[in-house]
Chain A
């Protein structure tokens, strides 16, 4: 075969390092690509900020005077304290829609086909996207925390605990982008991914302890709210920020009693389940 082999161009791609190292480097290449996109389309990041900021202001001033948090006074300031972790958590979960739309767009434009024909790690396209979304979520949280501080919110139990609280929020957001990735791979258009990524988030985030305490909900909803994975992170963050009023009656449900553990377990479980499903879907993806 020598004669023909010589005629053929020498270029086969170098053998990949394989395994974890290649997964990490490929994921970073993909994350970089998505971060460059975010810088070049700043509208996405900016619009992503407007909604949570509006929520902070609306909830604080419109509902603040009317919602009584058990165990505290009736003043609007105590509701603002209570509310912020809920808004932070809702904001991080909205990254789901961005991840879904981005991946659906890549499918739609044939980029996923290109990536799948390259000798790259299988999960890297999705991991890269979710990592870039994590960076965006972190930036959003920083801006939001500043706005929250301006309307009177603060964390009372020291910086390490506050950072731990933000850590749990980011982990939840990261877990949810894997749900978004699966949605993005499953729908036909980026538009469908956006609405498909948002529509279930409203009931999920409202049937929770994010905006109102669960004590006043009907029995069935109360259980749903207290076992909601989203609630666990909200309560954990509230606890770590020292935003729970001193006399707040903690519900008996296990996740509400051990919110930090519940938050970690829920987020890890979501990542494992949805990453597995999304990567499997990616391998068989047909544009």
Chain B
């Protein structure tokens, strides 16, 4: 039996641009698929096709057991859509917005009212329920938008970049809501360009670029494909490079052909070597460097992040710009540090 969301060979062209170029997806029930890709990769087009907003040129899509092309109305009864922009009516109150959506989902007036009340409480909007959405903060609007998508507790949810433009606290809250939903049995398709978001929420990730799925798997599988952890050292003087290299190669990962070698960037005085052993090994390396009198400017243990996965897969960063700030990265775990940067940059380009 195909999953709650199933797509096969989706193609959609806008003029010469192929927004979707043969996309296959299969999302098992009660799981989250993260659709990861840069702007213009085709993520939103895929969501629009699956939510009946756009007819594909070719291919097949089944959502909640119903053919999207043959019976769009039945599909609409089983899905919730939370878009990139909070699609709420600013001049209606939170309560009025939710009641309206409930009625348009064909609930009776009374049921819509009751459901609106429940959702306002659940999303922490009860106090603001009778204020117009215009007075809401960005985070509140997003919560209202998400609540609107959940009016009928649909078994399948589509979220197109749900946290774009949100501050960290609101992102965190939204993530928690999504996790609750999935625990309750909802299937979620989530598009994002934030790698940490996919890392945290998605059971499976499909990396999309130029309208194609170029890789899929769990976050760990994708990271493993890219490579293991490594130690990075920046020495103070260029003369110290050979000594540092000797020490690092002594700890390098053993491959089939002996120990892996150390890569050296002369001009930045940076040495990188693949390792296993984590923080303990890092401590050992630092001690040895110290004993041999090598002065270091910076040292760190790098685990591959989804950023690395992304760059190695697509040849460019998630947002189509060179990544910054990686050289001086010396935290033991860098998985969470890409996002504030990414969020800022996204804001700046808006």
Chain A residues in the interface with B (C-beta under 8 A): 1, 4, 6-17, 22, 25-26, 29, 32-33, 36-37, 40-41, 109-111, 113-120, 124, 286
Contacts and interface: CB of A to CB of B under 8 A. Distances in A.
A3 B78 CA distance: 18
Interface of B: 1, 4, 29-30, 48, 51-54, 64, 73-74, 76-79, 81, 83-92, 96, 100-101, 103-107, 132, 148, 152-155, 184-187
Given A29-B103, A119-B105, A12 B152 contact: yes
A113 B53 contact: yes
The list of the 9 closest CB pairs from A to B, nearest first, reads: A11-B153, A7-B185, A110-B87, A13-B77, A9-B153, A119-B76, A13-B105, A114-B87, A8-B185
Contact of B153 (A4, A10, A16): A10
Contacts, number: 117
Contacts of B1: 1
Contacts of A14: 77, 105-107
Q: Residue among B48, B85, B89, B187 with the most chain A CB within 10 A? A: B89
Contact of B184 (A4, A9, A40, A116): A9
B104 to A, nearest CB: 4
A116 B52 contact: yes
Contacts of B85: 109-110
Nearest to B76: A119
Main secondary structure on B side of the interface with A: loop
Given A111-B89, A116-B52, A11 B155 contact: yes
Contact of B91 (A12, A29, A37): A37
A11 B148 CA distance: 14
Nearest to A14: B106
A26 B153 CA distance: 20
B76 A118 contact: yes
Contact of B148 (A9, A15, A109, A114): A114
Contacts of B90: 109
Contacts of B101: 114, 118
A9 B180 CA distance: 12
Contacts of B48: 113
A36 B53 contact: no
Contact of A115 (B104, B107, B155): B104
